[in-house]
Every structure is written in C-alpha cells, then in structure tokens.
Amino acid sequence: MKKKVSRMLAATALLALVGTPLLLAEEGEGAALYAKKCAMCHGKDGVAKTMAANSGNFNDAEWQKGITLETVVENIAKGKGKMPKYEGKLTPEQITAIAEYVKSM
Ligand code: HEC
C-alpha cells in the first residue's frame, strides 16, 4: 500500500516536470515570446508604448478587426517602420505563434 502511494507520487512529480515545458511550447509559446520580444515596445497588455508609436493597440477590438493574422505575421517577419524585422531571428513557427497570440489579445 505504502509502495503504491509513493509510486503514484513519483508519477505525479514526473508528469509535472514533463508537462510544464510541453504546455509552454504548445499553448504559451506565443505569449512567452511576446513577453520577451515585443512587450517592451507594445506593452504587456498590447497597449503601445512610446517605443511603438504609430502602432495600434493590440487589445483594441477595432484594431483587431482591421488586421489579419497574415499581416501580423508579415509585420513581425519583415518589420515595419522603426520596428525591427524578426525573420532569421525567430523561426516561422515562432513568428506564427506570436502572431496568433497577438490576434487573441
Ligand atoms: C523596438 C520596439 C518594437 C519592438 C521590439 C517590436 N515592435 Fe512592433 N512596432 C513597433 C513600431 C514603432 C511599430 C509602428 C511601425 C509603423 O507603422 O511605423 C510597430 C508595428 C507593429 C505592428 C503593426 C501595427 C499596426 O497598427 O499596423 C505589429 C502587428 C507589430 N508591431 C507586432 C510586433 C510583435 C509581435 C513584436 C514582437 C515580435 C514587435 N512588434 C516588436 C515597434 C516595435
């Protein structure tokens, strides 16, 4: 009985260890990359800071209506105005993950 419990505990601990990075990669990758690469200019909540002057606010419903996922991907890959381009620095998958996160704000 005692052995069974400790085996269950070990399995739970393993799941917690393995589960976290998996979740990060699948659901949270876009959010995590956004926080690291974009939030300093576009704000954690999508409200553009001075460094992202000319950019719309990503949490604005009107802005969301006016931009497609494809355009966000292109803006990230090629850059825009003073915004640096990210192609070559991020993989296409990472760029898509960030764009999907931006479109979900
Ligand atoms: C150094 C500051 C800076 C960083 C970092 C930055 N941006 Fe920008 N971004 C800007 C500026 C400035 C503009 C406005 C460009 C223009 O139209 O002149 C902009 C524009 C945009 C636009 C178009 C907005 C619109 O209203 O058309 C999108 C989408 C965007 N950025 C997404 C991102 C994402 C996603 C990241 C992270 C991968 C990122 N940006 C990183 C400064 C930044």
What are the extents of the domains in the chain?
28-103
**CB-ligand 1 contact for 88 (6 Å cutoff):** no
pTM for this model (two decimals): 0.82
d(CA 102, CA 104): 5
> Does residue 20 surpass a pLDDT of 60?
no
* Residue-level pLDDT at 74: 98
* Residue-level pLDDT at 7: 72
pLDDT digits (tens, 9 = 90+) for 58-69: 999 999 999 999
* Residue-level pLDDT at 78: 98
**CB-ligand 1 contact for 38 (6 Å cutoff):** yes
Question: According to the CATH classification, is domain 28-103 in 1.10.760.10?
Answer: yes
**CB-ligand 1 contact for 97 (6 Å cutoff):** no
**CB-ligand 1 contact for 75 (6 Å cutoff):** yes
What is the distance in A from the centroid of ligand 1 to the CA of 38? 8
Mean pLDDT score, 11-40:
74
**Ligand 1 atom closest to Cα of 72?**
29
Q: Which residue CA neighbors atom 27 of ligand 1 most closely?
A: 55
Instruction: Place 14 in a pLDDT band, splitting at 50, 70 and 90.
Output: low
pLDDT digits (tens, 9 = 90+) for 85-101: 999 999 999 999 999 99
Region of 55 (left: φ > 0; alpha: ψ -120 to 50; beta: rest) is: beta
